[in-house]
Amino acid sequence: MKNYLLLSFCILLSSASINAQNIEAGFFLGASNYQGDLQPTHFLFGESKVAYGGFVKYPILEYLTVRASITKGTISGEDLNSNVGSGRRRRNLNFRSIILDFGLQAEFHPLTIIYGEKKTFSPYLMAGINGFTFNPEAFYIDRFYALAPLGTEGQFLEGSGVSPYKRFQVSIPAGIGIELKVSDYNTIGLEFGIRKTFTDYLDDVSGSYPDLNKLAELDPLAATLSFRKVDAEGELLPFSPEGSQRGNPDANDLYYFFGVNFGFNISNILNLGGGPSDYSIF
């Protein structure tokens, strides 16, 4: 699947360079966020981070455009953001992860069907198939530590029944947007896109606590970052959590991108092969 997505992405980029007519290229600037075990029920703007990327678009029909895109952003979460007295707050976990998201999407412009041509103002729906990479890290004392190699839920313990997770995954993107044609050369648009994933480990939290004694023998740091013995109020937690719930394995994680797309009509800018035209961004 990873090779398929990369091949499809390259094919679209190649078609863009070969068929310059009506090709649009541009960049995205906005923010990223996520929903998962460290942010399960609400959207925290304080956890939003800068996201950016690029895209190439090719119109197949008046109302249907194919887009290849690549976007990079950071997601994060922290149990201390939960309500005082919450079990998640006492769990006292945190993470961040850089997401590199790429793939193919289709934009459907419904008003074009009604009016027969794309108008200056055009809302659209977006869906497709993407791949992404991630690498969750936790902050401890004075630095961040990569969590996947540690196996904080016993992934590397013999007989644990928990397999290591892959840091390349497939997602299903879907979203809504509004595109405004500024001139024959430029478009600008707003978009909100959600990525449905098939993993519960964007934040390295999913199932139950492992046998911490065995985990400490294998790697003391793994045991420390699996169970943060000091709670949010600075008290040492008195119980052993082995086998108790650490996360919710019944709900996979999601991540979001929202922001502004800036597009440039390559064929008009280059005057269809006749050399750069008298071009202004405005």
Kindly report the CATH number assigned to the domain that includes residue 146.
2.40.160.20
Domains in the chain, number: 1
What pLDDT is attached to residue 281?
Answer: 42
pTM of the model: 0.85
Closest residue by Cα to residue 95 from 196, 192, 200 = 200
Contact 248, 208 (CB under 8 A): no
Structural domain containing residue 187 = 2-269
Enter the tokens of residue 262.
């800036």
Residue 274 lies in a domain: no
Q: What are phi and psi of 249, to 5 degrees?
A: -75, -5
| Per-residue pLDDT of the chain in tens (282 residues, 90 and over written 9) | 555 455 555 554 554 444 445 789 999 999 999 999 998 877 788 899 999 999 999 999 889 999 999 999 999 999 988 877 677 888 889 999 999 999 999 999 998 888 777 778 899 999 999 999 999 999 999 999 999 999 999 999 998 889 999 999 999 999 999 999 998 889 999 999 999 999 999 999 999 999 998 999 999 999 999 998 765 556 666 667 888 899 999 999 999 999 999 999 987 777 644 444 444 444
What pLDDT is attached to residue 30?
Answer: 98
Residue 280 lies in a domain: no
Residue 278 lies in a domain: no
DSSP alpha helices (H): ranges in 19-77? Answer: none
How far is CA 76 from each of CA 36, 73, 103, 186, 192, rounded to the nearest angstrom? 10, 10, 23, 34, 18
DSSP alpha helices (H): ranges in the chain? Answer: 2-18, 87-91, 110-115, 212-218, 220-226, 266-269
Give the burial string for 155-188 (b: 16+ CB within 10 Å, else e).
bbbeebebeebebebbbebebebebebeeebbbe
Residue 73 lies in a domain: yes
Residue 281 lies in a domain: no
Residue 67 lies in a domain: yes
CB count within 10 Å of CB 260 equals: 14
Contact 64, 109 (CB under 8 A): yes
